[in-house]
A and B are shown apart, each in its own frame.
Chain A
Amino acid sequence: MPLGVLWRRVYEVTGGGWTRSGEAWVSTVFAYNVSLACNHCERPICVEVCPAQAFTKRDDGIVLLDTEKCLGCKCCSWACPYGAPQYDEQTGRMTKCTFCADSIDAGQPPACVAACPMRALDLGDRAELEARYGDLHTVYPLPKAELTQPSLVMTPHQDAARAAHESARVGNWEEIGTRPDE
């Protein structure tokens, strides 16, 4: 993996504060993590915008990037609301999570799912995952799911619903490396 390229990032969302109640200060601070890689969207904008047809969506839904075809125009990285395509300065081409397609083809789970010590990540058929985890496709700071229809369901943190209304923010941009506005 090239230096500075992170196919999966963990966003640390923080918010809330302290409010005074009589003589006491009450904490409303909250924090949660969102682990995110390419969501292999149903409507992948990277596939739409790429002028070189470097992106393809396989029949099983995995979105793959053929770096040999990439021009390095960066249009996909501008467009993706999940920051999945990332530019490799050394090669002058984009790079992206493959969902460990070779492992999947060999009947093995992706490396991130296999490695997560908290078993917070899973994979499977969409209907099966929705039955198990619900049909929520976004939490703060992710965008509205309608934009690209991500192949992602999640069980939200108990404070995730508050985040959008209580000036939450991502607290670890330095670790993640890129912001959506850079």
Chain B
Amino acid sequence: MKERSLIVFTILSQMAVGTFWTLGALYVWSTRQAGPGVAHELTSFGWPAISLVMVTGVVASFFHLGTRANAWRAFRSLSRSWLSREILFAVLFAGASTLLAVMQWLDWGTSAARDTIGVLAGLIGLTLVFTMGSAYRLRTIPAWNTWVTPASFFVTTFLLGALAAGALLIFPSKAPVGWTRMSLQGIAVWAVVLLGIELIIVPLWLSQLTGSEAATSSFVRITRKHGAIFKLRLALAVAGIAAASAALLEPCEGCLPTQGFSVLAALGLVLASEVLGRWLFYVARVRHGV
């Protein structure tokens, strides 16, 4: 598999965008419900982590290039190349999320300025995932040229993002335990819903792989040649549902560590499932023609 660096880039950047949105939603919700102090304590660990993950993803993408010295030329075809747009938005999101992390960490700028940058960064992140999906929708590759490509990218984004945000909440902070517990429960519900959507999307994708030699070849590669990996990927997703569901158990005073462990386990299982799923996505790259 020559696309290891692309697997790292796409998974990490989607996870970064999803974490950004989850923490953003938590920040808005907890600010309204409990005030900015609790909101800050709940989310403060997250912003630098998002920046670190995104920058790591962008750096990983360089290893896919044969001539890294020409990487700067990747922005030259914004008017027609989705790949060019994807790279632009990846760099913009890395920059915006890093700027926000620095501002939050050092308490720079006004609250309004940080909110504005946060909203902008969030929109850039969503655009990044959209451009990523569009870049892979090559009309000559039937397994990729489907609505499933962007849809599954968005599901991965919010799924990994939610669970990664949940994992960040477990870090010791001054946030009240009750708020952390409620946040983890909300994240677990969201993750279970998204995993359910994913388990619907995957068979829908497979059902589309008919009607041409290339599509059939993709189907055979996923379900037979690499059938064991495909089954493992699905099993890990189901195990992820079980682990996330465990975080929904009746909340009690002393159960935060258990709840945190459930979310961490779900993150590990789902991350492994998504990596295998992305690997299979690249394996399914069979184009029409010769």
Residues of B within 8 A of A180 (CB): 214, 286-290
Hey, which chain A residues are within 8 Å of B290, CB to CB?
Answer: 9, 11, 36, 81-83, 141-142, 170, 176, 180
Q: Are B288 and A51 in contact (CB under 8 A)?
A: no
Nearest first, the 9 closest Cβ-Cβ pairs linking A and B are: A72-B66, A92-B66, A81-B289, A143-B289, A143-B288, A51-B84, A52-B73, A181-B286, A51-B83
Number of A-B contacts (CB under 8 A): 118
Cβ-neighbour of A79 out of B66, B67, B140 (below 8 A):
B140
The reply on B70 being an interface residue by CB < 8 A is: yes
Q: Are A48 and B66 in contact (CB under 8 A)?
A: no
- In the complex, which residues of chain B have a beta carbon less than 8 angstroms from the beta carbon of A93? 66-67
Taking the complex as formed, is A111 at the interface, i.e. its CB lies under 8 A from any CB of chain B?
no
A78 touches B83 (CB 8 A): no
Q: Is there contact, CB below 8 Å, between A73 and B139?
A: no
- In the complex, are the beta carbons of B289 and A74 less than 8 A apart? no
Known interface pairs A50-B83, A82-B289, A143-B140; 12 further A-B residue pairs with C-beta atoms within 8 A, sorted by A's residue number? A45-B140, A48-B81, A49-B81, A71-B67, A71-B68, A78-B287, A91-B66, A92-B67, A141-B290, A148-B140, A176-B290, A180-B287
Q: For this complex, into which size category does the number of interface residues on chain A fall?
A: 35 or more
Also in contact, A78 and B289, with CB within 8 A (given A52-B73, A53-B77): no
Binding site for B on A (CB under 8 A): 9, 11, 36, 45, 47-54, 69-75, 78-83, 87, 91-93, 141-144, 147-148, 170, 176, 180-181
Taking Cβ atoms with an 8 Å cutoff, the residues of B that contact A are 64-68, 70-71, 73-77, 80-84, 87, 135, 138-141, 214, 217, 221, 285-290
> What residues on A are CB-neighbors of B286 within 8 Å?
180-181
B83: contacting residue among A49, A70, A142, A143, CB under 8 A: A49
Give min CB distance, A173 to chain B, whole Å: 9
Determine the chain B residues whose CB is within 8 A of the CB of A73 once the complex forms: 64-66, 74, 83
Main secondary structure of the interface of B (DSSP, over half): loop
Kindly report which residue of chain B lies nearest to residue A89, judged by CB atoms. B66
| A83→B287 CA distance, assembly (Å) | 10
Residues of B within 8 A of A143 (CB): 140, 288-289
Whether A71 and B289, one on each chain, are in contact in the complex, defined by CB atoms closer than 8 angstroms, is no
Given contacts A78-B138, A180-B289, contact A51 B67 (CB under 8 A): no
Contact A147 to B288, CB < 8 A, known contacts A45-B140, A74-B66, A79-B138: yes
Q: Name which residue of chain A comes closest to B86, CB basis.
A: A51
The interface residues of chain A lying within 8 Å CB-to-CB of B287 are 78-81, 180-181
Cβ-defined contact, A52 with B76, below 8 A: yes
B217 smallest CB distance to A (angstroms): 6
Nearest CB of B to A182, in Å = 9
Chain A residues near B73: list those with CB within 8 A.
Answer: 51-54, 69, 71
**Chain B hits for A148, CB < 8 A:** 140
| Docked CA distance A52–B67 (Å) | 12
* Pairwise interchain contact A144-B77, C-beta atoms closer than 8 A: no
Give Cα distance in the complex from A131 to B81, angstroms. Answer: 36
- Taking each of A47, A54, A81, which has the highest tally of chain B beta carbons within 10 Å of its own beta carbon? A81
Residues of A with C-beta under 8 A to B214: 180-181
Q: How far is the CB of A155 from chain B (nearest CB, A)?
A: 19
A83 to B290, CA, bound (A): 6
**Nearest neighbor of A170 in chain B, beta-carbon distance:** B290
Which residues of A have CB within 8 Å of B139?
45, 147
10 contacts across the A-B interface (CB closer than 8 A): A45-B138, A51-B75, A53-B73, A70-B66, A71-B65, A72-B65, A73-B65, A91-B67, A147-B288, A176-B290
A51 touches B289 (CB 8 A): no
Chain A residues lying within 8 Å of B64, measured Cβ to Cβ, are 73-74
Question: B70 touching A51 by the CB < 8 A rule?
Answer: no
The complex places the Cα of A141 from the Cα of B83 at a distance, in Å, of: 28
Contact partners of A51 in chain B: CB under 8 A: 73-77, 81, 83-84, 87
Cβ contact of A81, chosen from B66, B217, B288, cutoff 8 A: B288
Residue ID in chain A nearest B62 by CB atoms: A71
Contact status A52-B77, CB under 8 Å: yes
In the bound complex, CA of A133 to CA of B217 (Å)? 33
Nearest-CB distance from B186 to chain A (Å)? 39
Distance from A53 Cβ to chain B, minimum over Cβ atoms (Å):
5
The chain A residue with its CB closest to the CB of B78 is: A51
